[in-house]
Amino acid sequence: MMADMGAVAEQTAKLHLDEETGELVSKGELKKRQAKRAKKAATAKAKEAKAAVAAAVGGNDKKPAPKPKEEEVVIDSEAMFKQGFLDDVFKERPMKPVVTRFPPEPNGFLHIGHAKAIAVNFGFAKYHGGVCYLRYDDTNPEKEEEKYFTAIQDMVHWLGFTPYKITHSSDNFQKLYDLAEKLITLEKAYVCHCDDTEIKLQRGGEKGATPRYRCEHASQTVEANLKKFRDMRDGVYKPREAFLRMKMDMEDGNPQMWDLAAYRIKSDTPHHRTGWDWKIYPTYDFTHGLCDSFEKITHSLCTTEFINSRQSYEWLNKVLGVYEPMQREYGRLNITGTVLSKRKIQKLVDDGHVRDWDDPRLFTLVSLRRRGVPPQAILDFISELGVTPSTTTIQIKRFEQSIRKYLERTVPRLMMVLDPIPVTIEDATETLDLELPFSPKDPAMGSHTVKFTPTVYIDRSDFREVDSKDYFRLAPGKTVGLMNAPYPIKATSFGKDEATGKVTEVRAVFDKEGKKPKAFITWVGTEGSQRVEARVHNSLFKSERPDDAEGGFLNDIHPESEVVYPDAVIESGIDEVKRRAPWPEAAGESERGKSGPEGVRFQAMRLAYFAMDSDSKDDKIVLNKIVSLKEDAGKN
């Protein structure tokens, strides 16, 4: 029997994946299928190839050279710093040591777009042998919470980066205040009492229809402005009764030079770190450039939405005579087919459409981590896209394709059945031990033992009560191969539940004398296997632009964005995969045993890539689908 098993194992190793159906078939059968499907496409491709070759060689009749075998491309995560936009930025100011910063507002969870900012700022400093600060821009006490501070730091570490120092804009509140008073003494700031309507008129009214003009309060004396500013500090004014404005250039064509606000009153909420010490808080436009200056940032890298702010950033540092960093702007990363707005995600959570901010169907970084997306795969994806001043907008399927390519070479393979039905092999007399590799391409992943039992589970979708010519899996009187099993099996009968009409059991026998089966299916034995809950996630929204849906984005929610299989069965190899997690060891998961449950990743053969969910308990594993095996996966 073991000799037979060895022969079958060798035979199975030669099987090929039919990407259209997800089945493992013989080389000959695969060729037949491919020839049939490609008949029409081949003619068109041949014409295109002939025209392309003719154009390349000036119209002669030379045959094109055979296409070289496509090799697996490994992404160079440092490529975006070696050439292109970021290389030009460094050459513009080749100053070392390089000092950068990642300055998030601690008022929400980071999303996929922030991953690019983390990769750019931390990666730029690392590549040039410098350091990067994690600086919380905590100047708005009304929206900041401890959970956001913690989550941001966790995400930076998860992506594999360690901040040089963790700082806060609030560390500099006194220094910022002192510089605001200095700005007043330089006659470059004044206290304004205008309302929103008046300010809009000063800036040219609706669509700039009227001439711009400066606020009348700008003519106040330095002494008057200092007194009013100190009154703001001391709580004499209520919110919106007064604010400090920078006296810039109302004639400039850049709106970021039209006397921006520097300080506003926010006395109703205590600050997360300083409590009730302050009743006034600096704005982003006043704080950001000065904190960059305090920390001696060499290259202040931000997205192009701040390109107009560069002028006011430089103006402020120059007027105050402080160290001047260099600000440069790159294009942000957007993704279609989802929503990233904090307000909209909160609405999804509040209305129960998703579990929380870390629901695997969202594109916050905590969601992607819970879903099982590896941190290094995200960094590779960003590097693959590159960095330019242009905004990058990609579809979800483009993101998932990159993740899929990464997982294909880095995680082990296991057999799992989502909707199991038992198949009793009537002439199987004993349980056999099968030694199976975790990866057919990477021997270093090792192997594990699986029990092939007289009764095995197959997926309900792999059995049909009535056979057809274009169906290649199990049906009454039909033979199918079981991956790595000693022999194919032929179904002889089946039983059904009269109430539901569902098949409850299939009976079969080994088909030892028949032809090689056209398809092989996955199975799980009854010994050593485990019941698991598998959550198969699809896109949360039906369209590429949920915001454009009639009635709003909530009307675009996909009714089957999550399908739960509560009684899925997985083979015993899952225990070894859990013990050796994370898969792979990379970025912030570079040490065995140091990841969360999401580090337990694997390919469920013929199904999808999965990872353990944080809802898992000692006695029950919960799995999330990371991505499918193929973008348009389907079976015949």
Token pair of 195, please?
A: 């309302």
Torsions phi, psi of 622, nearest 5? -115, 130
Give the contacts of 630 (CB within 8 A, at least 6 positions apart): 19, 22, 404
Distance set, CA 490 to CA 7, 98, 179, 487, 510 (Å): 20, 68, 84, 10, 6
Give the contacts of 87 (CB within 8 A, at least 6 positions apart): 81
Which pLDDT score is estimated for 51?
A: 56
Which pLDDT score is estimated for 73?
A: 63
Which pLDDT score is estimated for 29?
A: 66
Q: Is 332 a catalytic residue?
A: yes
Domain 80-330 has CATH 3.40.50.300: no
Diameter of the chain measured on Cα atoms: 103
The stretches in the chain having pLDDT less than 50 are 1-13, 21-22, 53-64, 69-70, 633-636
Q: Identify whether the C-beta of residue 632 lies closer than 8 Å to the C-beta of residue 440.
A: no
CATH number, span 410-636: 2.40.240.10
In angstroms, the CA 231 to CA 243 distance is: 11
Query: Among 627, 582, 609, which residue's Cα sits nearest to residue 160?
Result: 582
Distance set, CA 264 to CA 277, 280, 554, 576 (Å): 15, 6, 35, 58
**Helix, strand, coil tally for the chain in percent (to 5):** 35, 25, 40
Selecting among 19, 20, 105, 408, the annotated active-site residue is: 105
Q: Is 324 a catalytic residue?
A: no
Helix axes 112-127, 146-158, angle to 10 degrees: 60
Query: Among 389, 409, 391, 345, which residue's Cα sits nearest to residue 554?
Result: 345
Selecting among 182, 203, 212, 342, the annotated active-site residue is: 342
Which pLDDT score is estimated for 36?
A: 72
In angstroms, the CA 443 to CA 608 distance is: 21
Q: Is 598 a catalytic residue?
A: no
Edge-to-edge order in the sheet of strand 562-570 = 413-414, 601-604, 608-612, 621-628, 530-537, 562-570, 416-417
Q: Identify whether the C-beta of residue 245 lies closer than 8 Å to the C-beta of residue 192.
A: yes
In angstroms, the CA 417 to CA 120 distance is: 41
Strand partners of residue 603: 413, 609
Where along the chain do the CATH 3.40.50.620 domains lie? 80-330
What one-letter code names the amino acid at 499?
A
Where along the chain do the CATH 2.40.240.10 domains lie? 410-636
Q: Identify whether the C-beta of residue 19 lies closer than 8 Å to the C-beta of residue 38.
A: no
Q: Which residues of 602-614 are buried (b: 16+ CB within 10 A; e: fewer)?
A: bbbbbbbbbbbbe
Strand partners of residue 507: 424, 493
Token pair of 33, please?
A: 């299928």
Selecting among 182, 188, 279, 332, the annotated active-site residue is: 332
